[in-house]
Chain A
Amino acid sequence: MKAILSGQTAIAVCIEGENLYSISLDSPESWIAHQKWKLPHLFADAADILQIEDVSRSEVMDKLKLEWAQDRSLQLILILLDHKEELQTRLEAAECLDDFLNQDEVRKYVENHLYSSPLPSTADLNGAIRLSENSLLSHLTEFLNTFQSDQEEISKRFAAWEALPINLFGNPTIKRDYYYEAVRHGAFRLFVTEREKKNIAVIQLLSHPHFRGSSKARTIFQKWAAPFNESVTNIEFESQEIDDDTNNGTDSRYKKHSISGFNVFQQVEKQKEAIKKLLREGKQDLALRFTKDLIAKQRRDSEPKHLAKSLCDLAQFAKSLGSAELQLEFVLKAVAEAPDDSWSHATLGDAYRSLAEFQKAQDEYHTTGVLGDVRMALVGRAEVLKDLGQIDEAIQLFEQCIQEFSDDLISRNGRAAAFAYNGSFQQALDAYDEILRIAPFDAVTSSGRAQVLRDMGRLDEALKEFGELAKSYPEEIIPQNAFAEVLRELGELDKARIALINVIEHFPLAPEPRAAYARILRDLGRFNEALSEYDKIITEFPLNRWAYIGVAETYRKIGRLPEALEAYERVINLFPRVTHIRNGKASVLVAMGDYLNALKILPTNLPATQSEWVAYHIRGMVRMRSGKLEKAEKIFEWGINEIPWVSQRAYFKTALASLRVQQKRYQEVFPLVQTIIHPSIEPIAHALIMHASGELGDMPRFNQSYESIQNTSAPVVIELREALAERYRRRTTSIPPDSWFFLHECDSLLLAA
């Protein structure tokens, strides 16, 4: 059910089909039925109307109470600050506010607005504070005192905003609209309240879901922050006095027994191994109980930082098994034990990154820097920027890091990888070569370099390099896996399969090669075997989400959509915090024609992360498949121009090519898709070339593309290929109709890519 509500009017309306049911805060017991056309009248000129989806009536009521509290709090504080108001009225406003400001969301809402501008001279803040103090309203008093002490900074930030040139926005109306957005999402408040924490405000805003997908918003915030020497690429951190008490063990939980360090170490390692074994077996509840014992023991026998390291180690192990949720759970414990341990905060940042909670990740990396590990903080921050597609900023930050820490390979590798993301492949190769001159035997660098060759389509060279790496570093799994992947991309599926069998033998406890093997089986058209293999992985590695996803993707590829949907729902239930899984489910829903439910689970903000770009592409597919070609065109064209990841651009190009076929603009298809080499999309690209060249009578090109589509491609693509051959070779134009081809081309992109 969806609902529309307004705090200002204190009314909510639930929309159930063609019926409306309204409720007001003044009469919360009775829902009144209305006809749908009354909707605009119920809210009249309310300025704060909000629509929410998939809610129950009780959730609507809760939301309405919050929205109302927010609106009234703002109105009441303005009454409180107004010297013209009667004293009694101001006092009653203060009493109400003292209650309201207890709610975090209400407080933030009021701050968001109050911090957006300096107080006008008519405001009686001193009077409000006196009134509040005299009435012993502690929450309100604290709020007002803080607000007063922040006035100077508010003025500065507001002046800086006003000074932003109009051409940065486009015109005054757009600047005004950005102002409203900045107020609503707390940008002014953040800049003021976080001013002591260098750069964190601008970092948070650039990671904010509402703003991070807009390069214009990012530019605006960075220009706004610049006069204050705040920047996402600034490498300064505020200093923090470290609480030595924690590490000295004055915490009463930490009582030292006299046991030798080595014995303690041995015992801890034993306990950790036992926990890891349980995790591998999927017995996470038991593992967590054992962890409690580990914590109790290490509190007795060790320092907090040692316990934190144990917990971080377990966190990383959980990550290697594929469970970002467990990774988070372990590392939160680590931070609780040793809040001043920079390594724990960095690990926590990594856990939040895995869960796509980028603002929290940035907070943790910032804390890491404050606690002294500046290098790790900057690398973490840069990696998050990369995740958000802010690759230029990431590169700048890596370069700063390299200047500060010239021996550090991680930032150098990060920068090289960022170049590759941006499509600056030669720069990436040069950067990797530079690292290899310093550290010729670094496996990570060599792997990164080989990966760039792969991204460039120089697969033979990539294969050679991965092969050499695999020989030189037999204990490193990444080059082994990558070698098999490149074989796959070269179409050497049997060789890839054999390579993976060897990797699995060598690394029996690693789920990644097993999942890759299952995928090869799928690529070979051995779908049932693939499903069986994924089921085995699930049994052996129950925490690893990739096997569950593999099952869903296999069903999706072979067109068994109800099973695919069920499989995606299982993954989402098991791993609710991993949001990118919803993209797969949405693709299936779109292919089933269920556009409404597909759109419901996709994010609505402008895309920033890779997962959000995939979701955006699916939105475009919804438009296209439902016949809204102009809207689809806008989405695909924008995607081609704006997506930061060169490798992902191919999805938008292919979608636009499909649209061009639909628009009968056949000549425009070829430049869009003829250079696509991505193995997932290449067959679909060829199918579109077949269609376009068939229409244009270019049979040599048609035949070439026909031959390029392997028989092991997804069934929907094979079906399309054969139908196109039937139509254009045998000239049977009537069956199937154009609409069939259109839907199949859409579904190829949704299911097979």
Chain B
Amino acid sequence: MKCPNCHEEIPEHVHDCVVCGTDVGYPNVRAALHKEEVSALKLRVKETEEDASLRGFKSVLDKFRDSVAQSVVVISCSLGKINELLSGDNQLYTTFYKAIGGESRLPEDNEWDKIRMAVDSLIFPYYAEHIRFGSLSIDLTGISGYGVYCMVLKETAIKDRATVFEENSIMFIKKHRIVPGDTLPQGYRATWMDRSSLAVAKLGKRLTPTTTETEFPKLLASSDTTDPDFIEVHIYGPIHRRAIKYLSGPEPRQKADKVLIKSISRKLTEIGATMEISK
């Protein structure tokens, strides 16, 4: 691609022009805005709408679309990670907890990399390390199998740098039998602001004339432990603690974790976020 400022060729994966330093946007967002991606998605949406009209649930589809337009991104994670995130500006944490960042002790040829790297090279070539993952949600819940605590992020903090993807990216690669060197099928991602189009394209055909609005959340994100189905959200860049709007999760069993919850509660209050812990 060419830099809009200096018109030099720059790699697809950069955020700033390597020549003049201009902000050229987020690579995941640029990928979602490619002409072919947009056209392919539009086509899928059109097919779904036509199908809905034929089968008599266009109004349900429209409600579904409106509902998804109000959806939020939820990141499912662990208590330890949340406390780390919320302590991001705390000098004590930045002094003594930062070394934990270098603590990953995975050997060469580990299971982790085998799975992750194949996917990352296809969907986020050269910028996978900058991507944070979440799921799209209407009812503020996340995918329980990926962490029992759910952080809802403020839209203002992510809307310009988030994109949505048809489903869990690893599952998508497997399902479509994509290998390194292949091109990704198009029409399966969208910008944050166009997330409802992707949701319609993916899920519209599962609606029926009798589908009610209370069923929309589970349709959008199911936490089936064997095969969760959701729209994956890709956020470029780190998550700042002030991006957190709301946190929910269960009361922990371990005493040390109960202490952590209290600290987390105080830190959330400090930034104007809310928390709901269920017994």
A residues bordering B, Cβ < 8 Å? 2, 4, 6-11, 15, 25-26, 32-51, 69, 71-76, 78-79, 81-82, 84-86, 88-89, 92-93, 95-96, 100, 113-114, 116-117, 119-120, 122-123, 176-177, 179-181, 183-184, 604
Contact A46 B99 (CB under 8 A): no
Contact among A44, A78, A93 with B77 in the assembled complex (CB-CB below 8 Å): A44
CB neighbours of A100 from chain B (8 A):
256
**In the bound complex, what is the Cα–Cα distance between A177 and B260 (angstroms)?**
28
CB neighbours of B101 from chain A (8 A):
47, 180
The verdict on A76 contacting B100 (CB below 8 Å), with A41-B145, A45-B81 known, is no
**In the bound complex, what is the Cα–Cα distance between A479 and B106 (angstroms)?**
49
**In the bound complex, what is the Cα–Cα distance between A15 and B260 (angstroms)?**
30
Contact A180 B256 (CB under 8 A): no
CB neighbours of B53 from chain A (8 A):
none
**In the bound complex, what is the Cα–Cα distance between A591 and B257 (angstroms)?**
50
Contact B146 A41 (CB under 8 A): yes
Contact A113 B99 (CB under 8 A): yes
Q: Does B174 contact A (CB under 8 A)?
A: yes
**In the bound complex, what is the Cα–Cα distance between A181 and B171 (angstroms)?**
35
Contact with A along B132-173 (1 / 0, CB 8 A): 110000000001011110000000000000000000101100
Contact A74 B96 (CB under 8 A): yes
Q: Does B126 contact A (CB under 8 A)?
A: no
Q: Does B181 contact A (CB under 8 A)?
A: no
Contact B256 A72 (CB under 8 A): yes
Contact among B96, B100, B171 with A117 in the assembled complex (CB-CB below 8 Å): B96
CB neighbours of A8 from chain B (8 A):
78, 80-81, 84, 100
> Which residues of B (84-118) have their CB < 8 Å from a CB of A?
84, 87, 90-93, 95-97, 99-107, 110-112, 115-116
> Which residues of B (189-213) have their CB < 8 Å from a CB of A?
none
12 CB contacts below 8 A, A to B, read: A4-B112, A8-B81, A10-B79, A26-B253, A37-B174, A40-B112, A41-B146, A44-B77, A84-B266, A92-B259, A100-B256, A184-B102
Contact A75 B78 (CB under 8 A): no
Contact with A along B218-232 (1 / 0, CB 8 A): 000000011000000
**In the bound complex, what is the Cα–Cα distance between A57 and B121 (angstroms)?**
33
CB neighbours of A116 from chain B (8 A):
96, 99
Contact B260 A72 (CB under 8 A): yes
The verdict on A44 contacting B78 (CB below 8 Å), with A123-B92, A180-B101 known, is yes
Contact B259 A79 (CB under 8 A): yes
Contact B90 A26 (CB under 8 A): no
Identify the closest chain A residue to B102 (Cβ). Answer: A180
CB neighbours of A47 from chain B (8 A):
81, 84, 100-101, 103-104
Contact A39 B111 (CB under 8 A): yes
Contact A89 B225 (CB under 8 A): no
Query: How far is the CB of A334 from the nearest CB of chain B, in Å?
Result: 38
Contact among B76, B93, B96, B102 with A114 in the assembled complex (CB-CB below 8 Å): B96
Query: How far is the CB of B231 from the nearest CB of chain A, in Å?
Result: 14
Query: How far is the CB of A228 from the nearest CB of chain B, in Å?
Result: 22
CB neighbours of A82 from chain B (8 A):
90, 92
CB neighbours of A604 from chain B (8 A):
107
Query: How far is the CB of A68 from the nearest CB of chain B, in Å?
Result: 8
Contact B111 A2 (CB under 8 A): yes
The verdict on A117 contacting B112 (CB below 8 Å), with A37-B171, A76-B256 known, is no
**In the bound complex, what is the Cα–Cα distance between A9 and B148 (angstroms)?**
10
**In the bound complex, what is the Cα–Cα distance between A176 and B110 (angstroms)?**
23
Contact among A7, A78, A93 with B93 in the assembled complex (CB-CB below 8 Å): A78
Contact B95 A44 (CB under 8 A): no
